[in-house]
Amino acid sequence: MGLEEEIQELEDEIADTPYNKSTEAHIGRLKSKLAEKKEKLEQQQSGSGGGGGYGVEKHGDATVALVGFPSVGKSTLLNALTNAESETGSYEFTTLDVYPGMLKHKGANIQILDVPGLIEGAAGGRGGGKEVLSVVRTADLIVFMVSVFEIDQYDRLREELYKNKIRLDTEPPRVNIRKKAKDGLTVNSSVDLDLDEETVKSVLREHGYVNADVTIGEQVDLDRLIDGVMDNREYVPSIVAVNKADLIEPDYLPTVESELEERDIDPEEAIFISAEEEKGLDGLTERIWDELGLIRIYMDKPGRGVDYEEPLILREGDTVDDACRKLGGSFDERFRFARVTGPSAKHDEQQVGRDHELADEDVLRIVARK
């Protein structure tokens, strides 16, 4: 029996087995087997197709993947938001069906990738689908683009990404596995787990663990437990842009809103745009900025004053140390202390060390050894 048939059999058996306490461990084993076999199949497929990193280079301060069905208006949006047309040629995406553009906002360079081949090619690795997915996996944010008349496409898009190990709008599961030399499997949990200990152990055994301490820090179901054990899923935030809003009459809007609500998308959170008429694009850009969690740091350079034009772009939570690293050069070794003025500082010119957490629109001066 080939791998594909084995996968099909496992999927059938999982679908046919009712889920309850007495079948839980069994289903856990089946799902684990399934996950391992899918992994193997994928390795075989990428092995024959060259595989590897596909040479997709990240440019700019952050990367956003634009994901949607054909003809929803992705390229129209990309052209409206970015300098795509003028710079397309300078990127190394030759064999890939991916079109990059650079969105400049608040001094940051945000790379936007139009990945048109996702739906046509992705299932089962046909054409460039797998390669396109590897691009989506490395994005910092996914923008789902649907048209006002086809909100249901959202389901297919999410499903396609899920199948390809992309987990949306969620943090990695708090499952920690520490291998040891002997004494079998031990399960520790800081919450009162719904899953039986025996189920957790059978899942682990199925993934090849014989001796290990497992710590679980949240209420996980089987799928999330397996995600935690497999440890090769990408966790990416997403937003929804509803395009062609220019085409709807006001009395159709409630229909669109209820279609969104059916899919757990708050209509207030979805961004209605018209790529063609360039409406709603400022709102979309602002949301992209917020979701990426970028912050602007204005560097105060000795003798040159504060540079408000080209801020250093960092992430929320980043520290002075991260700033030094991004600045490059020899700042790292020569660092003595820094002075910060702005939202993260207690007072102007506060003297801080490397571990000081910066905030949007801080002014930072690094004092370095000669």
Nearer to ligand GTP, 199 or 243 (CB): 243
Residue written as tokens 């800081």?
A: 190
Q: Is 51 exposed, middle or buried (0-12, 13-18, 19+ CB in 10 A)?
A: middle
The residue type at 92: E
Nearer to ligand GTP, 118 or 212 (CB): 118
Nearer to ligand GTP, 143 or 225 (CB): 143
Structure-token pair, residue 352 = 């801080």
**What is the SS3 assignment for 87-134?**
HHHHCCCCCCCCEEEEEEECCEEEEEEECCCHHHHCHHHCCCHHHHHH
Rounded least distance, CB 283 to ligand GTP, Å: 14
Nearer to ligand GTP, 63 or 243 (CB): 243
Site string for ligand GTP, 257-296 (x = CB under 6 A): -----------------xxx--------------------
Show contacts with ligand GTP in window 53-82 (CB under 6 A): 68, 70-76
Show contacts with ligand GTP in window 110-169 (CB under 6 A): 116
Alpha-carbon distance of 185 to 208, in angstroms, equals: 11
Strand, coil or helix: 185: strand
Site string for ligand GTP, 225-254 (x = CB under 6 A): ------------------xx-xx-------
Nearer to ligand GTP, 241 or 352 (CB): 241
Smallest CA-to-CA distance from 99 within 90, 107, 108, 61 is with 90
Q: How far is CA 15 from CA 18, 23, 124, 205, 227, in A?
A: 8, 12, 20, 22, 19
Rounded least distance, CB 59 to ligand GTP, Å: 21
Rounded least distance, CB 79 to ligand GTP, Å: 8
Q: How big is the chain, counted in residues?
A: 370
Rounded least distance, CB 251 to ligand GTP, Å: 18
* Residues contributing to the site for ligand GTP (CB under 6 A): 68, 70-76, 116, 243-244, 246-247, 274-276
